Chains A and B, each alone.
Chain A
Amino acid sequence: MNHYNPFKTVSFSMRKSLMAACLGSILSFGGASQAQEPVRIAFMDPLSGTFASIGNSGLKILEFAADYLYNSRGGILGGRMIEIVSLDNKQSPNETQLQFRRAVSEGIQIIFQGNSSAVASTLSQTISRHNRRNPGQEVLQLNYAAVDPILTEENCSFWHFRFDAHANMKLNVLTDYIAQNPEIKKMYIIGQDYSFGQVVSDTSIALLKQKRPDIEIVGNEFHPIGQVKDFTPYVTKIVSSGADAVITGNFGADMVSLARSIIDSGLDIPIYTFYAAYDGITATLGEDGKDRIRLIHNEYANPVPTEERREFNRAFKAANPNNDVTQPRIVNALQMLVTAMEQSQSTDPYDLAIALEDMRFTTLSGEEVWMRADDHQIFQGLHVSVHTDEGIEFDGDNSGFGLFTEYNVPADETIVETSCQMTRPRR
């Protein structure tokens, strides 16, 4: 790792340049452009407030990947550096608008965004409108985590690319896995009362009916996001329904509280989840959650598939001892973006979008992923992993616990049809 020189000051130099850019843009001083101008990429996610830990860990991964994979090796496009500009949208659609205008004001044309499907869809609408009204100043949205299917279905956009499997794809695999377990006869579904929670509920009911008609849905509960003090009353209902398993799309504190309440009530049933790991959750679940919590995700968990991936993770850990590579798909998105830049020898969003369409790319995990041109949805292998401390090479929250993969589905089996009718801008 000696060749690697961590750009320790990147975030601060970034802040300063942002300050200068900000003042410059307000006073409209045009800066003279240099020959080797950096390629500027915005990372727009919550960096303050309740959801900040998720956003900050994503930012660390993107900054690290840019330095480690490109900047420390001479940059991209013949020597240009990648500069990550962090924009704090506080996971609020309103704030996203303001930050989007800031990005446009600074001439940034590529935006990484992931947290909250609500934010992703308002951003996607805003970008489509902006690009239509301001030809020549287009912006590209790289969505690395918002999984509401609608983003690549009815509301799909030429300027939006998704690097995570959407909720229906994930549920398809998860229900396959559940269907293999003959002991499960009664399923309880509980989720946050908003679009993603409802997608999880509707889809899993439909899929289970199809795959295992004998499984009875004994509960389908919605609770308000982030307002439940105590999940015990819900758990009482789960217990009395006689459920053998629970499916939930909860995230953040709602996920932890729900799992803790289930564990505390002495109910020993598997919990199938989307977001029950990292950023404090793994440590909090600890021993109590062992072998009970299962997670559906893409990319990899333990065991680590390739030496390259292992090396990347170790280098990341060395630079950020308190963080984990929670979302390796951010790295994939960056790598695919750079590949598109090199292929098209351009940083123009239109050229990049054309280059990204139908791209096949081999990730650090040695897996070939495919970006479908019809709806800009990525396809790659999906996995179900269990929360445990056995066989864990890379743990979460330095707790010794982590995810161990139990079930794999290759990329070509995850492909689903799309209803996307994309309007393509003409050049």
Chain B
Amino acid sequence: MTLLRKSSIWIVFVVALFGLPQIFDSILAISILNQMAIAIVFALSYNMLLGQGGMLSFGHAVYFGLGGFLSVHALILIEFETMVFSILWIPLIGGLFGLLAGIFIGSFSTRKAGTVFAMISLGMGELIAASSLIFSSFFGGEAGISGDRTFGPLFFGFDFAQNIEIYYLAAVWVFIATLFMYLFTQTPAGRMANAVRDNPERAEFIGYSARKVRFISFCAAGLFAGIAGGLFALNYEFITEENLNAATSGRVLLMAYIGGLGYFIGPIIGAVVLTLMNSLLSNYSELWMLYLGIMFLLTVMFLPRGFAGFIMMHQMAWVRGNMKMLVKPYIVTGIPALLFAVCVIVLIEMSHSDEETFHFLGMTLEPSSSITWIVLIAIAGAAFYAVRRSRAQLLDAWETANAAPKEEQS
């Protein structure tokens, strides 16, 4: 039964990976899907460190970037026929280089977990990002390096010139990488990573070196980050310093955290949500980064276990068939919450805009008149009050829905 359920999840995953481009087949949609594919592998590899191994890294982009740089160099070698092999294997090259970098840096950074590890990762990240600008013959300075993926032996007649072809290649790699990362969590090494995260002393007592366990997780994370870097290189055919600097490291932390660290599926959710926000939201508002920041803080404060944790909160209610009980409270709290959010967004956008009229959802507002402002603030205030009032009921309903049925309790 559980085997069936587990494999059904994987089947859904495969169907989604290969079916989505059939539904969303515009150039833009394929571009977004490609980004998601890369982000999923990258975020999952980050979760091997933080979620499963308890190592907070501020420099995970290093392995992604280095893998990507080597992959682009490989593309160039293929183009000039120094090496002859199909570009199918490029992500593997990226992964191996990520692994090498992981072995080297991991050899001294995994001695300690906690703050010491975090700070070494920060320092190494800054060092490598800075030296990538200095060593421009390998890294190409701030313009980066670029290759062309259409060379090398054809694969069943495909030259991978179109992005959709690359997407299918990436999808295969995403599936393989995800499967192996999942299997890793089931191996003794993966299990011990959890144990070392939760209590290194105890793990040592049962005969495992905490350092070695951390080192193995670290190297594996480097490998998969490198694979993601290789996928990036194939998709964009170029790579720059940007891909190994602190901003990229921060973004992957955000993805994994918002998605939910404690769950294998969490980083996948985070990668999908953040990629969508990044590519769609930025075109509707130039303030999208502000909203992203607010959303991030709210997630940390109110959903400490991320989106995946939020979904899993309803697992018991679902199993017990009590989801119906939650529908009404969610609507009662959700509508004013949504109204509040909309009002705040309109207020923010209005104060930022220097247009005389302001169009929103078909309404025309006038920022110059103070009535507009007062009305909006009043609605927002009322909505906020309604949320506060109804929140207790929602929590109650959630408690009842999740509580065991009466017969079982007795």
Which positions in A face B, CB cutoff 8 Å?
8-9, 11-13, 15-16, 18-19, 22, 25-28, 47-49, 52, 56, 87-88, 92-94, 97-98, 101-102, 104-106, 117-118, 121-122, 125-126, 129, 133, 193-195, 224-225, 322
Contact = CB atoms under 8 A, between A and B. Distances in A.
A8 B357 contact: yes
B144 A105 contact: no
Interface in B357-374: 357-359
B11 interface: no
Contact of B289 (A11, A49, A87): A49
Interface string B351-395: 000111111000000000000000000000000000000000000
Contacts of B130: 224
Contacts of A97: 236, 238
Contact of B26 (A98, A105, A118): A105
B22 to A, nearest CB: 11
Max chain A C-beta neighbours (<10 A), residue from B236, B356, B359: B236
Given A94-B236, A125-B146, A27 B24 contact: yes
Given A48-B286, A88-B283, A118-B141, 7 more contacts: A13-B359, A28-B24, A98-B31, A101-B27, A104-B27, A126-B237, A126-B238
B144 A118 contact: yes
A122 B143 contact: yes
Contacts of A122: 143-144, 146, 238, 240
B247 to A, nearest CB: 9
Contact of A101 (B25, B28, B144, B286): B28
A48 B355 contact: no
B99 to A, nearest CB: 24
A233 B300 CA distance: 41
Given A28-B26, A94-B242, A52 B286 contact: yes
Interface residues of B, number: 43
B27 A194 contact: no
Contact of B143 (A12, A102, A121, A126): A121
A95 to B, nearest CB: 8
Contacts of B242: 92-94
Given A48-B286, A93-B240, A8 B356 contact: yes
B26 A133 contact: no
Nearest to A150: B143
Nearest to A85: B283
Contacts of A48: 282, 286-289
A106 B26 CA distance: 9
B249 interface: no
Interface in B282-318: 282-284, 286-289
B142 A195 contact: yes
B29 interface: yes
A117 B144 CA distance: 12
A16 B161 contact: no
B359 A9 contact: yes
A83 B265 CA distance: 42
B142 A105 contact: no
Given A93-B238, A125-B146, A47 B31 contact: no
B148 interface: yes
Given A8-B357, A15-B283, A28 B25 contact: yes
